Amino acid sequence: MRHIANSRMYARGRPHSLQRDFCRLLNLGVRFDLTICDVFATLCS
Protein backbone atom coordinates (compact mmCIF):
# COMPACT_ATOMS: atom_id res chain seq x y z
CA MET A 1 0.00 0.00 0.00
CA ARG A 2 1.37 3.39 -0.95
CA HIS A 3 1.29 6.45 1.24
CA ILE A 4 -1.12 9.15 0.12
CA ALA A 5 0.19 12.71 0.19
CA ASN A 6 -1.63 15.18 2.37
CA SER A 7 -4.20 16.80 0.13
CA ARG A 8 -5.26 19.64 2.40
CA MET A 9 -4.92 23.03 0.80
CA TYR A 10 -4.41 24.88 4.08
CA ALA A 11 -2.49 23.42 7.00
CA ARG A 12 -4.28 23.42 10.30
CA GLY A 13 -2.80 25.02 13.39
CA ARG A 14 -1.97 23.01 16.45
CA PRO A 15 -4.88 23.05 18.88
CA HIS A 16 -2.68 22.41 21.90
CA SER A 17 -0.33 25.36 21.34
CA LEU A 18 -2.66 27.75 23.21
CA GLN A 19 -2.89 25.30 26.08
CA ARG A 20 0.90 25.01 26.26
CA ASP A 21 1.27 28.80 26.29
CA PHE A 22 -1.34 29.09 29.05
CA CYS A 23 0.43 26.48 31.20
CA ARG A 24 3.77 28.21 30.63
CA LEU A 25 2.27 31.57 31.62
CA LEU A 26 0.59 30.05 34.67
CA ASN A 27 3.86 28.47 35.75
CA LEU A 28 5.64 31.81 35.33
CA GLY A 29 2.97 33.53 37.45
CA VAL A 30 3.31 30.98 40.25
CA ARG A 31 7.08 31.35 40.27
CA PHE A 32 6.77 35.14 40.37
CA ASP A 33 4.32 34.89 43.26
CA LEU A 34 6.64 32.61 45.22
CA THR A 35 9.55 34.96 44.57
CA ILE A 36 7.58 37.91 45.93
CA CYS A 37 6.66 35.89 49.03
CA ASP A 38 10.31 34.98 49.57
CA VAL A 39 11.39 38.61 49.25
CA PHE A 40 8.81 39.79 51.79
CA ALA A 41 9.73 36.97 54.17
CA THR A 42 13.39 37.93 53.91
CA LEU A 43 12.67 41.62 54.48
CA CYS A 44 10.36 41.01 57.43
CA SER A 45 12.66 38.64 59.29
Please report, for the chain, the start and end positions of each structural domain, with discontinuous segments joined by +: 16-45
What does the pLDDT look like over 1-33, one tens digit per residue? 566 666 666 666 666 677 777 888 888 888 888
pTM above 0.85, yes or no: no
Q: Judge whether residue 38 has pLDDT over 80.
A: yes
Q: What DSSP letter does each residue of 1-45 carry, written as one string?
A: -PPPPP--SSPPPPTTHHHHHHHHHHHHHHHHHHHHHHHHHHHH-
Task: List % helix, strand, coil for the chain (3-state, nearest 5).
Answer: 60, 0, 40
